[in-house]
Amino acid sequence: MTAALSIRNARIILADEEITGGLAVADGLIAAIDTGLAAAAGEDFEGDYLLPGLVELHTDHLESHYHPRPKVFWNPTAALQAHDVQVAGSGITTVFDAVRLGSDADSSMNLGEHVSILMEAITEARHVRRLRADHFVHLRCELASSDALDHFETYYDFEPVRLASLMDHTPGQRQFVTMDLYYAYYQGKTGRSDEEMQRFIAARMADQHEYADRNRRGIVELGHAAGLALASHDDATADHIAEAKADGVRIAEFPTTRAAAVAARQADLSILMGAPNLVRGKSHSGNISASELAGDGLLDVLSSDYVPFSLMQAAFDLPKSVPGITLPEAVTLVSRNPARAAGLDDRGEIAQGLRADFSRVAVIDGVPVVKSVWRQGQRVV
């Protein structure tokens, strides 16, 4: 139970409008929203925005703290706390930490060992209330991997796990729809010679042929049995979307083409794109731009992906880059819509009876500044 809290003189972003007024909180929930509270007692927001706590469905950021350099692995609890500080400081009050399942055949790293370490760190930190944001786990399942299903069977029923994505990074499809794009990205990243790349690509294609279908069937079956939300990753064609729909997938995560996004809308899947794509104005791998999809009404959810603050930045950039989109509509893409897509109905917007997750935000020289953050009525930043 938390003490009563009141806010006044705030520009409150509701799901469908902006109002100036106040907010009352009791027992961790929003008790009242009223323009009449503008002059009441309470913390004075001085005209700053009051936004719902942002909901992040896919961030790789934890792994970058845990494994910051080749051969370097940080204390997992310390890595989680560093990640949590940056997430909460970006106005994100609910985060799905992406943990990759499925080892690379040419990697010497025992991925299963590190998944176990991260899962235990997240579970324990939630238990002892070590974290500012509310952390769940998103299992990123690399289907073309010999051990993806084995890893999933081990971790899918852990308490924090709420979401799983079906991924296939085999060369020449989905994220990298041409081999030229694949060579440009991976050869530049790894420094492999042309001959080494040819061997690498041949091995990846052989792995897909051997493992992908079996892994997909097993993960879909277990995921549904556990009540997990499922996402399909990097869909490039209408056939990819049709397969996802047949598998009961809810979210089309980072579709790489307009055709895939159109098919996802027709199939009633939530379309998720990267906030860094929107902020930068383009995809880092040459695929469809998020702002283009937003302008065509083909965007439901934004994810910070690899830059936590991009979620807040995108919410304020979108109305400037896409005519006709209001700030409340943009904020919905980073709060209510991702919450609903993940099956969380108790948060994601400023509404009476929902969790009192919100932040105080100013905009200085066009860039939002998160001044403070509350989760369930408790200030965490």
Per-residue pLDDT tens over the stretch 303-322 = 999 999 999 999 999 999 99
Say if residue 30 is in the same domain as residue 113: no
Beta strands in 206-329 (DSSP E): 229-233, 251-253, 270-274, 301-303
Domain count, the chain: 2
Asked if residue 237 and residue 319 are part of one domain, the reply reads yes
Q: Are residues 259 and 377 in the same domain?
A: no
* Same domain assignment for residues 43 and 66: no
177 with 319, same domain?
yes
Residues 47 and 146 in one domain: no
Residue range 263-284: average pLDDT? 92
For the segment 159-176, the average pLDDT, to the nearest whole number, is 82
Q: Do 109 and 61 share a structural domain?
A: yes
194-209 exposure pattern, b = at least 16 Cβ within 10 A, e = fewer: eeebeebbeebeebbe
Model-level pTM? 0.90
368's CB contacts (< 8 A; 6+ apart) are 49, 312, 313, 315, 316, 361, 362
Same domain for 110 and 259, yes or no, is yes
Q: Name the residue among 88, 26, 61 with its Cα closest to residue 374.
A: 88
The verdict on 359 and 316 lying in the same domain is no
- Domain containing 137 equals 54-346
CATH number, domain of 154, equals 3.20.20.140
How does pLDDT run across 215-242, given as a tens digit for each residue? 999 999 999 999 999 999 999 999 999 9
* 311 lies in the same domain as 227: yes
Distance from C-alpha of 346 to C-alpha of 333, rounded to nearest angstrom: 16
* Same domain (yes/no): 198, 326: yes
**Does residue 39 share a domain with residue 73?**
no
pLDDT (average), residues 41-61: 94
Burial of 19 (0-12, 13-18, 19+ CB in 10 A): middle
* 31-40, 212-221, 265-274, 347-356: least confident range: 31-40
170 three-state secondary structure: coil
173, two tokens? 């499809």
C-alpha torsion 335→341→342→347, nearest 10: 40
